[in-house]
Structure 1
Amino acid sequence: MFPARNTVVLAPSISQAITKVKITFRRNYSHHALLNMLEPCTNPKELWIGALSISTTALDSFPSPHRVIILPNLTEITLSGISKLNTDTLTTILPRCALLSSVVLRGTDLVTAQAAPFEIPPPELLRVTSLDATGQAVLDALLEQLFLPEAGTLRVTCFSSSAVSHLLRRCPRARTLDVDFTHPSQTPAPYALPSVHLSVTLPYLSHVHVHYRDRSISFISSEAEGRPDEGGLLTQAELNQDEIDAINVGVTMTDLVL
């Protein structure tokens, strides 16, 4: 659906039969119209909300905290256009989806506009097993708050290695990590935290992929290579000291430092 200014009115029989909803916003679309359209849909398992323009924050003021959409059967959600204006409400929506297992978040580019960090209530997503988060300043703040005790697959694009470290501390069952640090030609947020070394115990971690400065480096479990005595993660890539310092990542199976 491509709603403009008018909402789409669905018959109750149709609303209850819908299992997948994909909405692409046009400019100035009212979130109240979205509420009226989604509230009758009680059985969707997949929800995708996006925007035609990168400058359009599709979720601005969506929805007000006292009128939150409850989607009890939702298992997959994709949200784009995330900004500081709607992050608080976003963290209210997600925990209400009790069966949610896959979360995809796309943040807007607010690097130059965001002048200071902000706090959000830490959402606990107890059933989520897969997280795919892309963004800059805003998602860095969000990643430091998410608690995903069952997440096994993490794909993150962000500025700050500290944000990834905080996220991993809240994802004890992580098996695969794919992290892409924003290209250094882009200016970090004014408040961007320096890299911090946080010890993280990740006994299930078996694959790590790090992308930095147009280079990708993969680590796999040493057990997969038939070398269980050594433990840890191995890479066949040859890294010079500058790359090691730039990526700022040291990995073992029980102690991951970012």
Structure 2
Amino acid sequence: MTIGLSTYSFFWQWHAETAPNPIGLDGMVEKTADLGVGLLQICDYPQIESYTDAQLKALKALGDSRGVAFELGTRGVTPEHLALYLRLAQALDVTLVRSMFYSATSRPTPEQAGRMLKDAVPTYERAGVTIALETYEQVPTATLVDVVTAVGSPNLGICLDPANCVAALEHPDDVVRRTAALVKNIHVKDFSFSRKDGWVGFTLAGIPLGEGLLDYHGLIAAVRPDEQGIHQIIEHWVPWQGDSATTCDLEDRWTVSNLETLRSYRK
């Protein structure tokens, strides 16, 4: 099993809006290595898009020195945007880029997304890089599967995160079943519902792995990531705790707990 951490494992620690002293990618690489993890998925971290060649080279050198490889994650499927991420992938020796149909500036129809991907994927194929489109609530899983199947490339698949789809009233088990044959990457993130104050409604939030509703063992049985060479990336939905220090401390404790739990499943 190849376990990785995501920048979402450090979400509250790098966001300048909440962290008084946000950490950068160098800090995340160091923390990843210190936890004995050899893979960091730089996911939805827009600063990477403005890195110079020298900065990318320095990041790659730091990763090499600490034994940390990289994956990338972004949003959007326009050929121009995917070309940018292919350039970043090649600079960092990345073989997988996670993306989504929609970005802040582009909301293609499924037909448009399919055409965009058909334009972009051949270059990824030649570079040996795979695009993994994430399951999430804004695009029905059946639509995502249809588009990936229609493009028909071994370098295009799905990043499976069944927790995201609950908001669209898709059952996580159904999401796993629909996507299993196309999965290229897994986001491991447990979740649960809790009653809001006054018992008026519910909150869907993250919870340490093994304590929530994610049927992790069922997911693994369906996808068989070890046989398929699919990496498992730990993410969090850590609720805000009222202040940055408390929230970041909880985030770090969840990372340790989730790593221990995930590693224990192999024993």
Which structure has the greater CA radius of gyration? Answer: 1
TM-score band w.r.t. shorter chain: 0.3 to 0.5
TM-score, length-scaled by structure 1: 0.34
Higher relative contact order (CA 8 A, sep 6+): 2
